[in-house]
Chains A and B, each alone.
Chain A
């Protein structure tokens, strides 16, 4: 039996009467159709119950938090572990006895979040004495990286065992945070920085590389079992983390301008070799970073300045970009055309702004943008109308 809301059921009854009165269906058929559906239980009571449970949980948490300093170590530890185990048990019960798979997954996520809270509290407790300093090395800026690192270690088994996209998203966020933290604390930069060993520096951060490789493997593994939209989110987050990591390493080794150049070339290569969506992403990277390279200031401090002046390099970048964008447009990627227009507008507006006052410049820019927008919309509408008539 399919469940309908009371409004939908009312509508269906009215329609059935109409059809019956018009002799489209027999009274028996009308009854049979009516019996296919039943009234859905009101979600209002469910929300009420959930809100009540959330309030009780909040009350408990505030009670514990208010009296936290009064408790001794054993009781604190029990609270921390109970905070982790309670949502885990609820998740198990919901899945096995009530068959609420989705809610069970949400509670699983709660458990992983509570575990993170537990780790933070625990490190605060043990960080207070000499023992904590000994284990966790609290002196340096590593302290928060330790929180995040232990947290993500605890989430990894849940990702593998439950094959859950939500857990993987949490793990990806934690890994991103962890990489930022250990970068800020300069932990993974411990070796020589000499020109001849620059490529070694790219593979120096062993921990980061292992974590990123693990994220990609986990994504591949989970993808085999789940077919849902979150796989795509996982993939994009992995790509983002990898991209940020590679760019930060390149930046450390080669400086800003060369990093932008290398990444733009990588993006271009991706747009050439890859299938549609990944290729579009490559074109976006190549286009956005390529546009940056047409600005003279971005070439400051570049080793290429030994051979050419910054102006020449910026113009050269623009000259190379134009055929690239047009070629991508010819291949059917609209984004190539958009970047081409952006490039033209960049030069146009830059020159306008250096010759006229701000007020005139902005007004002119605005008028040109509005005109372009109206033109594009009209063209688009004509095209759609044409298709419609076919």
Chain B
């Protein structure tokens, strides 16, 4: 079951990164300004 959980987490990493990274860079840009 742990192996399965790891599988799901690994599969979710790239999509989550795609969904989150513009948001993070947006915050960094706002902080710079």
A interface with B by C-beta (< 8 Å): 73, 77, 80-81, 84-85, 88, 91-92, 95-96, 115, 118-119, 122, 126, 131-132, 135, 150, 153-158, 161-162
- What are the interface flags for B3-33 relative to A under an 8 Å C-beta threshold, 1 for contact and 0 otherwise? 0110110111111101110110110010000
Q: Is B18 in contact with A154, judged by CB distance below 8 angstroms? A: yes
The total of interchain contacts (Cβ-Cβ below 8 angstroms) comes to 61
A373 to B23, CA, bound (A): 65
Q: Is the CB–CB distance between A115 and B19 below 8 Å?
A: yes
- Enumerate chain B residues within 8 angstroms of A126, measured Cβ to Cβ: 22, 26
A127 nearest CB across to chain B (Å): 10
Residues on B with C-beta less than 8 A from A119 are 18-19
B26 touches A118 (CB 8 A): no
Residues in A with CB closer than 8 Å to B18 are 115, 119, 150, 153-154
State the interface size on chain B (CB cutoff 8 A): 20
> What secondary structure prevails in chain A residues at the interface with B?
helix
Instruction: Tell me which residues across on chain B come within 8 A of A153, comparing CB atoms.
Output: 14, 18
Besides A96-B5, A153-B18, 15 more A-B contacts (Cβ < 8 Å) are A81-B20, A84-B12, A95-B4, A96-B1, A96-B4, A118-B19, A122-B22, A126-B22, A126-B26, A131-B26, A150-B18, A154-B18, A155-B15, A157-B10, A157-B13
Contact B4 A157 (CB under 8 A): no
9 A-B pairs (CB sep. < 8 Å): A73-B23, A77-B19, A80-B19, A96-B4, A96-B5, A115-B18, A122-B22, A131-B22, A131-B25
A157 and B14 within 8 A (CB): yes
CA distance A146 to B28 in the complex (A): 22
**Which of B7, B12, B23, B25: most chain A Cβ within 10 A?**
B12
- The 6 closest A-B CB pairs, nearest first, are A154-B15, A161-B11, A158-B11, A115-B15, A157-B14, A126-B22
Query: Are A85 and B12 in touch, CB under 8 angstroms?
Result: yes
Which residue in chain A gives the minimum CB-CB distance to B27? A73
The answer on a CB contact under 8 Å between A92 and B19 is no
A345 → B minimal CB distance (Å):
53
Given the contacts A126-B26, A131-B29, A162-B11, A81 and B19 also touching, CB distance less than 8 Å? yes
- With both beta carbons as reference points, the residue of chain A lying nearest to B23 in the complex is identified as A77
Contact call B8/A88, Cβ cutoff below 8 A: yes
What A residues does B16 contact at CB under 8 A? 81, 84
- A80, A91, A158 — most chain B CB neighbours (10 Å): A158
Pick from A85, A131, A156: contact of B14, CB below 8 A: A156
